[in-house]
Structure formats: C-alpha cells, structure tokens
C-alpha cells in the first residue's frame, strides 16, 4: 500500500472537474470519481468507499486491472496536456483500506421474503448483480460451477496482475450482504433452467463464454495448438521449458498468456498481431510490461498456415498493411502479397476472443447471430423472467463492463419484480 503522503499528492492533482469526463465518458460504471477523490484528499476513506459503493462493489479489483488509459484516465482533463490523474491507483487504495478496516458495502434494506432470485455464474457480472439486489433486500442465490466465487478474476487473470487474496476479500464483502451460494452447480449438467424458473421469481444468467475462437487456418487442429482462455482457466499447460511459443491476438488475454508462459520457462515468446500496436485492445501498461519481460511483438503479421507432422513445428506468416475501407471506423489489415515467411514454433496459443459453450443452444433461449444469448435493452431474454449479461450476452469484454452489465440487470430485475 502506498504511503498516505503519496496518495494525497496524487489525489490533490485532481481538478475535481464539474463536468466529470472521467466518470461520465470514461468509466463504464460511471463511478463518481472526482467526489471519491475529494474524500481521499480529506483522508475520509470510509466516505470515499461509500461513494464508490453506490456504483461498484469491485473497487480493489477494478483499481488494479481496468484498462484505465482507455477508460477513466483516458478521459481525464489533466491528460490532455500532461499526465492524467492516477484514478486506478486511488480506487485500489480505497478498496484496500476498506478490506483492512472491514468497511461494509451497505446496510441492506428490509428483506423482501417473497421474492427470490437465482444468479448463474459467480464472476464479475454475477457478483455485482447479486450485491445490488441484496442491497435492496432481495433473497439471492448464486449457482457456481466451481467451488469458489470470482470467475475469471480467479482463473482468468494471473496473480501478478491481481492477487487472489484481494479477490477473496472483495467477494467476502458481497457474501456479508447475505448472499446464498450453491457451489459445484453447472448449467447443462447438474442444473436445469426449467426447474430454476419454477423455483425463482427471476433468473440472471452471468456465466462466461470461454471457448476460444478459431482462425480457420490450416493446421489449427495439430497437437501443440491451445486456446488461451482454457489455458488460463484450467491451467493445463504443457512443459514450455526451452520451447518457442507464439501467442496470437492483441487483447489482455494474449498478454496474460504470454507473460504466464514466459514465467513458466519458455525460451522465446512472441505475440503475433495482425494490426498495428496502437490498435491493440490490451492495456498499454500490459504491453509495456510484456516487452520489459522479454516478450517479442510481431505487429502487422497474420497467420497463413500452421505446419507440422501431427504436432506444431513451424508457422507461416504474412505481413499486413492497414487500409481504410468504406464503412469501417478504423483501418483494416490486408495481407501484402509475396511477403510470406516461416518461423520455427513449438506451441501456438490462440487468444482471439471467445464464444459460448455448445450447451447454450439447448437452453431454449433466443440467440443472436454470433451464438450469444439475445437480450433487450433491459437485459431480458426471450423468456420474461430470465435475464442475461456479461460475456454470455456478448457484452464488452472488460471486468468493468461486465460489472456494469450485472448492475444494469439487477436494476431491470428490481423493476420487473416491482
């Protein structure tokens, strides 16, 4: 934890803008950033936590892992001509104090005993939704397929980015609101959506969509090709010692895979991305730290073919140029003819995005053209009492956006039950 003097100095750097672009434009959760920072300036940390708790319950988490430069800090007025306010660090500091001092998220309203809500999935969306429903006095049960809560906060983000004790303590604050949990319950296996509809007044589906998307290139089914999401979730890593590994993709999953694999002893780790560095969705600080750890980046390179006899031996790449096409908001990578070349590779990790598991098609819910659960502007599915959000509904893929989806779903459920 940073010294109080350092934190106060960083808080005093905030101009307390009345228009609050960091909150209104930059933060997916619309946290009241200038007001909570003002409380930090005055060393009123409990008040700062209470202000944040009006919109979020993941302060110590989001303060560490959000892509701040693309969200709140990217909209900071201070950043126009200089360095933005260290919003993430200040939020994490308040979250850590709340853990240390055991500040409560809120005092729940009187119990609405006749209203029961089930949440399927205990990740950021499910936990946030649960907290906001519990604060309003509803009875909430989370059904979680693992024996722990947190979802990708536990198995999708490495310890070097998010210490697991921080996740446990953050989850405990939500449990303290009166949350019921049924562990080792998985939809499509030992949990039935139809039976849940008969038992509960409303259901929120917030489980992940964690099947790694494929590229559709030759050799993708060879031994040695892995999905990044599954590697991080299940930790079924091969022996990387002395091996050359290529990670395909430009998001935080690609960064997390590459940095984890480097720590597990790989001789070389390359991140291959078909666009330019400035187009990478990954947080800039993650890219910077990956470079400092010796990970090589091959920007504007595309995979043509994976080569090998049963297992990966080489990969054929082609260089790309960025072209502005009509109807596109950003330049599109186009392969440059005759720029192909081949490199030796032992393992390839696909980190190109994810899609829902096959059982989702059997839930009896309307899906969109990408296979995600179709929801309306109120997070409602094609079944009136069933709501959905987060990854399984195809929402934006950051923890803060998942949490926002969970909060929106909670508000929609409250309105529906009211």
- Sign for the pseudo-dihedral over CA of 409, 412, 414, 417: negative
Predicted confidence at residue 176, as pLDDT, reads 97
321 token code pair = 């140029």
Residue ranges per domain, the chain?
Answer: 4-101, 116-209+356-417, 214-354
Predicted confidence at residue 325, as pLDDT, reads 87
Predicted confidence at residue 2, as pLDDT, reads 57
Residues near 297 by beta carbon (within 8 Å), at least 6 away in sequence: 270, 271, 273, 277, 287, 290, 291
Mean pLDDT of the chain: 95
pLDDT at residue 101 is higher than 80: yes
3-state secondary structure of 102: coil
| 116-209+356-417 fold | FAD/NAD(P)-binding domain (3.50.50)
Residue 322 DSSP code:
E
Diameter of the chain measured on Cα atoms:
70
pLDDT at residue 326 is higher than 90: no
Cα angle 247, 252, 255 (rounded to 5 degrees) comes to 40
Task: Kindly report the number of other CB atoms within 10 A of residue 346's CB atom.
Answer: 20
Q: Are the beta carbons of 71 and 79 closer than 8 angstroms?
A: no
CATH number, domain 4-101? 1.10.1060.10
pLDDT at residue 395 is higher than 70: yes
Predicted confidence at residue 114, as pLDDT, reads 86
Q: Work out the pLDDT band at 397, boundaries 50, 70, 90.
A: confident
CATH class for the region spanning 214-354: alpha beta
Q: What percent of the chain has pLDDT over 70?
A: 100
Q: Do domains 116-209+356-417 and 214-354 have the same CATH topology?
A: yes
Average pLDDT over residues 91-106: 97
Q: Work out the pLDDT band at 214, boundaries 50, 70, 90.
A: confident
């Amino acid at each position: 934890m940073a010294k109080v003097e350092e934190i106060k100095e960083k808080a005093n750097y905030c101009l307390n803008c009345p228009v609050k672009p960091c909150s209104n434009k930059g933060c997916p959760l619309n946290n009241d950033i200038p007001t909570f920072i003002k409380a930090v300036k005055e060393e009123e940390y409990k008040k700062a936590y209470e202000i944040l708790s009006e919109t979020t319950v993941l302060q110590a988490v989001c303060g560490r892992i959000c892509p701040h430069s693309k969200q709140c800090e990217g909209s900071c007025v201070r950043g126009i001509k200089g360095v933005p306010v260290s919003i993430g660090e200040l939020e994490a500091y308040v979250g850590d104090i709340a853990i240390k001092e055991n500040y409560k998220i809120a005092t729940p309203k009187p119990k609405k005993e006749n209203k029961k809500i089930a949440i399927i999935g205990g990740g950021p969306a499910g936990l946030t939704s649960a907290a906001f429903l519990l604060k309003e006095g509803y009875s909430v049960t989370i059904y979680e397929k693992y024996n722990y809560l947190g979802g990708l906060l536990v198995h999708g983000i490495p310890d070097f980015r998010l210490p697991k004790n921080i996740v446990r303590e953050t989850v405990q604050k939500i449990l303290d609101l009166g949350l019921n949990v049924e562990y080792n319950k998985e939809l499509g296996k030992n949990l039935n959506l139809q039976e849940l509809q008969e038992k509960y007044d409303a259901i929120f589906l917030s489980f992940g969509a964690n099947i790694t998307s494929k590229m559709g290139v030759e050799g993708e089914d060879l031994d040695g090709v892995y999905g990044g999401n599954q590697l991080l979730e299940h930790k079924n890593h091969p022996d990387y010692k002395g091996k050359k590994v290529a990670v395909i993709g430009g998001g935080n999953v690609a960064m997390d895979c590459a940095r984890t694999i480097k720590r597990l002893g790989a001789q070389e780790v390359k991140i291959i991305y078909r666009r330019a560095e400035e187009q990478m969705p990954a947080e800039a600080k993650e890219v910077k730290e990956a470079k400092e750890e010796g990970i090589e980046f091959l920007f504007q390179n595309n995979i043509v073919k994976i080569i090998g006899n049963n297992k990966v031996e080489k990969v054929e790449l082609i260089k790309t140029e960025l072209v502005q096409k009509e109807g596109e908001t950003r330049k599109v990578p186009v392969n440059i003819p005759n720029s192909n070349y081949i490199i030796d590779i032992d393992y390839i990790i696909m980190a190109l995005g994810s899609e829902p598991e096959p059982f989702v098609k059997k839930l009896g819910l309307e899906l969109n053209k990408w296979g995600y659960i179709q929801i309306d502007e109120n997070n409602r599915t094609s079944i009136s009492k069933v709501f959905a959000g987060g990854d399984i509904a195809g929402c934006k893929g950051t923890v803060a956006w998942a949490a926002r989806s969970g909060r929106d779903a909670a508000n929609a459920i409250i309105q529906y039950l009211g």
